[in-house]
Structure 1
Amino acid sequence: MRAGSRTLAEPVWRLGGDPPPYEALLANVELRLIHKLGLTLQPRTLADDFERLEREFIGAYRQIRLELTPAIKASLVIDRLKRDTLDLVFGLGPLQDLMDADAVSEIMVVNAARIFVEKFGVIEDAHRSFFSDEALMSVIERIVAPVGRRVDRSTPLVDARLPDGSRVNAVIPPVAVRGPCLTIRKFSLIPLEIDDLVRLG
């Protein structure tokens, strides 16, 4: 797994300050979930780990949910709200954790309300959205500006390559009649092997 990447959200308290007293309890619950799911957390088994997590997480959670105290549950909600706000203001909003997740190879924003991802060759609904076209436009501008590109009504199409090698394509009105569109093809640092190519067709 590449440095700086993640497959699960990092606790927000790590942005600064001491960990709250329930952090050790929460870490123990996370370790128990990993153990119950049989996750290896190795780069070459990432696809299998992700499939198992998607398929069996709810069942594993139900087995340990009584261990979650009200304080832990409240902290999870607060952490999520704070992380989402930070991502919206300083990051890529609802796309930030998708960019950070190694399992996601492509992000397709059809419009502010519809986002799809590709995971191990399979396209699926990301189950998230931007709250407005303006919020999506802000993220698009934030993506292309650092690489010296611009996107506006006079330049409604833009292609760019991010510093990590990911390729970006954005289309905005008036060309995109249903609102801004964005595609990010992420650059993978994990080389594909023959078995991977066969599985992906």
Structure 2
Amino acid sequence: MKVKSGFISVTAIKTLVLGIAAFLFLGCALKPAAKDIVLPVSENRQASPQNTNPISVPGEDSDLHFIQPTDFFYMDEPFGNTEWESVYLGKMTTPPSLDTGNQAQFLCVSSGISEWANWWAGTSIAKHSDLIIGTEIIFFDADEDSDVYRAPVSNREARSGDWIISRITDTSELLHGFVMVGGGYVVRDKNIRIIIK
């Protein structure tokens, strides 16, 4: 049977419809598979901190932990024979003297409360050569998904968050960027401050 010119044969229409159906079927079938593609991740990739503070850059008058030269860490009494203790970040408002019983007064930067203290210290960011078993260190109290204490990511976080004093108990993972401190806590090397007396 002959088909008039200008008309499409039934076989051509069936082929066209089957082609479109196959295209749509394959397109729908491949979309979920594309979502399941897993890209390789470098073994050296670090877990990103899970916090709500935006990452910021330290100002000219502060170091990478957002600590300023006039900042001190202080506590009521010197660090004792414990695993760790909280220390406070503050500005010295009254220096020690005979009149104050060798205590100094500090304005706590997180609370705005004025407090007297028997122990205080200036600090600096630690170098690997500073990280020796038994060394007293100060670190920021924020941990990553992997339960590793990380450095502050903003001025606001550093100045409103908590800080801890402890002693290094294990340096076997220092090559990988970690030390262990009292209580079995793991601290990232970039989060450690050394006490300057």
- Which TM-score tier does this pair reach, normalised by the shorter chain? under 0.3
Which structure has the highest helix share of the two?
1
Structure with bigger gyration radius: 2
* TM-score, normalised via structure 1 length: 0.22
* TM-score, normalised via structure 2 length: 0.22
Which structure has the highest strand share of the two?
2
For CA contacts below 8 A with separation 6 or more, give which structure has more relative contact order. 2
